Amino acid sequence: EFQLKWIREKIGLVSQEPVLFTSSIKDNILYGKDGASMDEIRVAIELANAAKFIDKLPQGLDTMVGEHGTQLSGGQKQRVAIARAILKDPRILLLDEATSALDAESERVVQEALDRIMVNRTTVIVAHRLSTIRNADLIAVIQKGKMIEQELVQDPEGAYSQLIKLQEADHSDSESDDQQTYKELTSPSGQKTSHRGSSSSHRRHSKSRSFSLSPSPHGLSPSPHGLSPLPQVHDLPMESLEQNSDEPLKVTPQVPLRRLAYLNKPEIPVLISGSLVAIINGTVYPIFSLLLSNMIKTFYEPPHKMISDSKYWAAMFLILGLVAFVAYPGRSYLFGIAGSKLIKRIRSLCFEKVVNMEVGWFDKPENSSGAIGARLSIDAANVRGLVGDALAQIVQDSASVATGLVIAFAACWQLALIVLAMIPLMSANAYVQMQAMKGFSSDAKVMYEEASQVANDAVGSIRTV
Domain that holds residue 17: 4-137
Identify the domain boundary among 120, 137, 154: 137
Q: What is the layout of strands, in order, in the sheet containing 92-96?
A: 11-15, 92-96, 122-126
Between 120-129, 170-179, 235-244, 383-392, the lowest mean confidence (pLDDT) is in: 235-244
> Looking at the 3D structure of the chain, how many domains does it have?
2
In a domain, 177, yes or no: no
In angstroms, the CA 207 to CA 220 distance is 13
Helices (H) and strands (E) in the chain, counts: 17, 5
The tens digit of pLDDT for each residue in 302-320 reads 888 888 888 888 898 899 8
In a domain, 356, yes or no: yes
Bridge pairing between strands 92-96 and 11-15: parallel
Classify residue 459: in a domain, yes or no.
no
On whether residue 24 sits in a domain, the answer given is: yes
Q: Name, in order, each residue with C-beta under 8 angstroms of 227's C-beta and a sequence gap of 6 or more.
A: 185, 212, 213, 214
User: Is 289 within a domain?
Assistant: yes
Pairing of strands 141-143, 122-126: unpaired
Inside any domain, residue 199: no
Which of the residue ranges 83-87, 256-260, 371-375 has the most confident prediction, judged by mean pLDDT?
83-87
Residue that terminates a domain, selected from 137, 160, 178: 137
Looking up residue 334, the CATH number of its domain turns out to be 1.20.1560.10
Q: Would 326 be classed as within a structural domain?
A: yes
CATH of the domain at 15: 3.40.50.300
pLDDT tens-digit profile of 75-114? 788 788 888 888 887 888 888 877 766 667 777 777 777 7
Q: Is 267 a member of any domain?
A: yes
Same domain, 284 and 412: yes
Query: Strand, coil or helix: what is 213?
Result: coil
Taking the complete model, does pTM exceed 0.75, yes or no? no
Q: Which of 92, 110, 137 is the last residue of a domain?
A: 137
